[in-house]
Structure 1
Amino acid sequence: MHTPTDTGVRNSGQDARLDDLHNKLATEVDNLVTSADWTRALETAARFRAYSAANSLLIWVQYTDAYAKGLVPHPVPTFVAGVRGWNSLGRTVIRGQKGLQIRLPVLGRFAAASPDAGEDTWRRLAHWEKLRPGEVLKKKLVSTKVGRVFDVAQTEGRSLETFPEPVLLEGEAPVGLWDGVAVQITGRGFTLRRVDSAREIHGANGLTDYAARVVSVRTDMDPAAQAKSLIHELGHVMLHGPGNADSSSHRGIGEVEAESIALLVGAAHGMDTSQYTVPYVATWASGVPDKDEVDVVLGTLDRVRKTASRILDDLDTTQISNGLPPGLDRDSLAAQHAAKRGAAKAAHHEHAQTTRETVVL
């Protein structure tokens, strides 16, 4: 079901493009039938953390298709941005290159005088409409639209800044990863306990005891494996405690989510993901009643991505790119757009003033 646009008129072209994107996602999700496929999806999400899980998959599948057709020179996308983003970095899209379609949110403005009185009290504002005295404003998702981004291989111009990539020796953990994750665990009210062997925690590599609020990790493994297990347990702490809505709504996939979070965080640090074992079962999504399988899988992947991103944002470690070109981030993009809007408003105001003065004269 598509939400009407601001004008109230359905845009059949936009609807068709959205349907096409959904079909691409459905095909991609249907291909996630093995642990290796799911791992690749997580690695893609790690590489494009600035984008939603759905958009990271869309970027991947369209770019690899373009590579197969000889339209781009490299097999793997690296840095992705829109035309304005690339232009701000002194680069332009190469003539003839086709944009990678993604889903963009359309936010509506809503106002209410009593915001705590319920959703029914909020009214949708037209794009020109201002708040009435005493009203507060909020924005929320009302629909989606199709946007286009381009990989750096599809652009030309000024050279990009170099981006530091983590370099790890086999079996070693990234510098600061264990300590950073440990701080996040203890910061959530859990005690961290190191044990000498798996025998002390029922044969597991790590264990989270919600009742005692204790996280245990065995230390008779190499540092990389210990860090991986610690991240896995942090995933449990963040998503699967008693009373957690995600835990009750998605019962039976706790290990999938925790190991997926560990893999995504590890991949963002350049760790070897072949050592991760995600117990992905292709049929679990079909067991969720009254929900489309594509939405269930994407919801799980997005929940994993968001949780991993929260962990990564709180770590002071060297990580791979989040998918945006060096020198470009969400804050700078927002500042650019705000500046453009401010300039446009100023120009409009100046034009209006000139027009009024002309009429008066």
Structure 2
Amino acid sequence: MDKKAFSFLVLGCLLGTVITSGAFSVLARPASAEGAGERRAAGATSAGTKRVVLKLSHALDQAHPVHVAMEYMAKQLDKKSGGAVQLQIFPNGQLGSETESIEQVQRGALAMVKTSTAPLESFIPEMALFGLPYLFRDEEHFWKVLLGDVGKELAAAGTKVGVRGLCYYDSGSRSFYTIDAPVMSPADLKGKKIRVMKSKTAMDLVSQMGAAPTPIAFGELYSALQQGMVDGAENNPPSLLTSRHFEVAKHYSLDEHTSIPDIILFSQKIWESLSPEVQGWIQEAADESAVFQREAWKKSTQASLDALTKAGVTIHRPDKEAFREQVQPMYDRLEGAELGKLVKRVQEVK
């Protein structure tokens, strides 16, 4: 690199630091009484609030219904704050994988992340609950749990590790998609390499099915399928479509083994630096986007299955009972454990 190019690089880095510092300087609570008074005055009304820019990271494509819901959140937040609070969304893993983004949120280097609850197991062990197969009786039971005491407790559990759960997003049910042959029973998975999220529970599930779990970042999965590094993966219909993994994996077997929700996380460090009014706007916008997302998800799931069929993917509907029997040892091993107690609470939700 010549000296001139190096100088421009250094200047760019310095400007980036200054701009970032300026955007987040409004988030810090002043230590002095005088400063606190200035903060209250600044946050008193939308007209008087200094501009706050929040960055939200996620790993999905812009066409995904989850991204559309986050755009809705950004619009609602803009309206509520009178333009004072802006939400910038970075899709496709631009700011890092889900795990990397969670770590940035913990440190306060990033305000928000949309993540599956599966990678959160490394940070909040109780989140392993959602990765257990065939845990929910149906969709109604699923949402009663998420919006009830158990769901609220789990969303709040992250504050002890620096992240705050704002709301859950629907992520449907996860099923296997494969390159060469369909998965009609657990026996069809024996010896296959299946991509999973970075989650111990997800790896245990695939191992229990007889396959070899292979954790790979979602953004790297297309090439892994294409190059034969894995024989298949598991996900919901909209994700299979928008990721274009169907171009390689032509068999989709709807065993629907797990219903793992997405969650919007906020940096606890940044949250505590915001005025109560700004916090209220953010929470309201998140809650409204969750309602919007659930409706968008329902429409998108059927539309995605139709589009996948049209694109040449064969949709298979195996008998789920064999899969349920295969994974029962996962529940047997939880007897007497804290997670087992949580499972019983979920099962008792009517």
- Using structure 2 for the length normalisation, give the TM-score: 0.22
- Using structure 1 for the length normalisation, give the TM-score: 0.22
Q: Which has the higher helix share?
A: 2
Higher radius of gyration, 1 or 2: 1
